[in-house]
Amino acid sequence: MSLTRARVRLFTRRHASVAAVLRASADGGLELLLIQRIASERDRWSAHVALPGGVVHDDESALDAAMRECREEVGLDLAEPGRYELLGELDERLATSGLAVSTFVVRCTAPAAVAAPRLDLQPTEVACAWWVPLDALRPAAVVDSRVPASAYLPRALRARPWLSRALGVDSVLTRSIPIAWPPAAGAPVPPPADGGHPFLWGLTFGIVGDLRRALGMPGLVPPLHPRPNVRFAPLLHPANALICHLRIAFALRTLAMRSPALSALLQPTRRWRRA
């Protein structure tokens, strides 16, 4: 089993890299390693369900970064000979923070019944980890849920809670998959709102859909456009205008990063605005 090389490259100076680690399950299917990051007010990705990964350093490749982060965060050495196989790379995706994210798909070649990979979580970064059946991350499991609006707001608004409260935006509606499986290591951080199961959403939701399609499985349903939950009726129009503006800006940035010609065309405008 192998994947084709990534077709989409994003033209940006900021890159991150993640590892989609697969292993065989007892019933012959595939399981995907997911982690939940620790809860921290300073972290944009606080308590998110994600794949092991992080920012690519200047002196390393995207693949080296994915392998390093996987070793540091969950204790898996993907370079161990005879134990892991690199299947390929998925298309790059753009995170709302402006990072172009590369995804490398790796399969554990050892049968789960013989030697399951041992997880050693980094306590300052990772709270919990699961081996989730890939068949369970299917379109039928997708539900609509609300996530904090800070995940979609620019840094200036996240640093000024009073401004976000004045706009009346506290959460947005998005698609997600609840993670209800017992953890392989650590303890999950419950959502602060209802104390229920953690859920997969956002960037990792899109990557899982890409992975399923690359493996010949039906992809997940497209994510919803973020829709704000507005607490004050008189401020309904400004809040919707803010979310609409962010969606347009994010779409234009994605298009520019996929096209060097468009990026060069927009560059003089950005220099003029700085002046």
Q: Residues of 21-58 as b/e, b for ≥16 C-beta within 10 angstroms?
A: bbbbbeeeebbbbbbbbbeeeeeebbbbbbbbbbebee
- Whether the predicted pLDDT of 9 surpasses 90: no
Share of the chain above pLDDT 70, in %: 60
Of 7-16, 82-91, 259-268, which range is least confident? 259-268
Report the pLDDT value the prediction gives residue 117, as an integer from 0 to 100: 74
Highest mean pLDDT among 155-159, 168-172, 175-179, 268-272: 175-179
Evaluate whether residue 155 is within a structural domain: yes
Helical H segments across 3-58, by residue range = none
Residue 209 lies in domain: 15-191+198-265
CATH of the domain at 114: 3.90.79.10
pTM for the whole structure: 0.76
Reduced 3-state DSSP string for 134-149: HHHCCHHHCEEEEEEH
* Cβ atoms of 125 and 69 closer than 8 Å: no
Evaluate whether residue 225 is within a structural domain: yes
> CA neighbours within 13 Å on the CB side: how many for 91?
14
Domain total in the chain: 1
Taking residues 203-223, report their average pLDDT.
Answer: 87
Mean pLDDT of the chain: 76
Evaluate whether residue 273 is within a structural domain: no
- Whether the predicted pLDDT of 170 surpasses 90: no
Residue 210 to residue 48: CA distance in whole angstroms: 19
- Whether the predicted pLDDT of 114 surpasses 70: no
Evaluate whether residue 48 is within a structural domain: yes
228 compared with 35, residue with greater pLDDT: 35
Evaluate whether residue 10 is within a structural domain: no
Taking residues 164-186, report their average pLDDT.
Answer: 77
pLDDT band at 111 (very low <50, low <70, confident <90, very high): low
- Whether the predicted pLDDT of 173 surpasses 50: yes
Residue 132 to residue 124: CA distance in whole angstroms: 23
Report the pLDDT value the prediction gives residue 233, as an integer from 0 to 100: 39
Evaluate whether residue 4 is within a structural domain: no
Report the pLDDT value the prediction gives residue 184, as an integer from 0 to 100: 87
Evaluate whether residue 183 is within a structural domain: yes
Evaluate whether residue 84 is within a structural domain: yes
